[in-house]
């Protein structure tokens, strides 16, 4: 008696779960008087199919948090507005496209501004060493008893033919992060003497 079996399994996990397999076998009994083979195919779950050929950076959320938060009140006029990013700014990283080709990208800060109405407040940006946190240091204290707007915007650049180009979607800038927070400052000691 001779018996042989083989199995091949392919799985895509974890969510959604999908598995496909083929099990095959052969047998020979009584010196080959009775022999044969068999093959079974099976599939379990639901296979996920990637739709579209979008950019590999399309779903990346870059801006983690911007402070003061939207709707914050009684914000100290000496506070420094800041943004925290999920990835470093202006540092190259690699992603694979759907064909498995490595592509170089980096994130650029388009703007970080604090506005009093339509007027942009003047100040400097101060980065941490990892370039994933930036603070706005206003040249003057923030205007007291005002509703101010904090705007942060980032986009991606892709390295093509040795040059960095802004990632676009059908010719439009593909913004990868935009945050707009409105907050109110409180009165200061100095305002009482005006």
More confident call, 126 vs 171:
126
Tell whether 52 is covered by a domain. no
Clarify whether residues 70 and 41 are in a common domain: no
- Write out the residue range of the structural domain in which residue 32 sits: 2-45
The predicted pLDDT at position 31 comes to 82
151 is a domain residue = yes
Q: Is the per-residue pLDDT at 175 higher than 80?
A: no
Count of structural domains within the chain: 2
pTM above 0.75, yes or no: no
61 or 173, higher pLDDT:
61
86 and 171 both lie in a single domain: yes
Q: What is residue 161's predicted lDDT score, i.e. its pLDDT?
A: 92
Three-state secondary-structure class, residue 192? helix
Q: Is 191 helix (H, G, I), strand (E, B) or coil?
A: helix
The reply to whether 21 and 81 lie within a common domain is no
Looking at the structure, tell me whether residues 116 and 149 fall in a common domain.
yes
Inside any domain, residue 183: yes
CATH, residue 125: 2.60.40.3710
CA 126 to CA 149: how far, in whole Å? Answer: 19
98 and 169 housed in the same domain:
yes
What number is the average pLDDT over the span 155-180? 81
Give the whole-angstrom CA distance, residue 61 versus residue 63: 6
């Amino acid at each position: 008696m001779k018996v042989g079996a083989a199995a091949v399994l392919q799985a895509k996990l974890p969510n959604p779960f999908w598995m496909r397999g083929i099990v095959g076998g052969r047998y020979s009994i009584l010196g080959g008087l009775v022999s044969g083979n068999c093959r079974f195919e099976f599939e379990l779950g639901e296979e996920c199919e990637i739709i579209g050929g979008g950019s590999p950076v399309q779903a990346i959320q870059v801006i983690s948090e911007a402070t003061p938060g939207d709707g914050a009140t009684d914000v100290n006029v000496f506070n420094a507005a800041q943004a925290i990013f999920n990835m470093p700014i202006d540092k190259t990283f690699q992603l694979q496209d759907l064909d498995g080709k490595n592509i170089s990208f980096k994130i650029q800060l388009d703007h970080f501004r604090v506005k009093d109405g339509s007027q942009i407040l003047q100040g400097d940006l101060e980065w941490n060493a990892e370039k994933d946190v930036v603070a706005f240091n206003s040249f003057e204290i923030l205007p007291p008893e005002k509703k101010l707007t904090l705007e942060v915007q980032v986009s991606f650049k892709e390295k093509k033919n040795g040059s960095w180009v802004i990632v676009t979607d059908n010719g439009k800038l593909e913004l990868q992060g935009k945050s707009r927070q409105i907050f109110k400052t409180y009165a200061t000691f100095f305002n009482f003497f005006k």
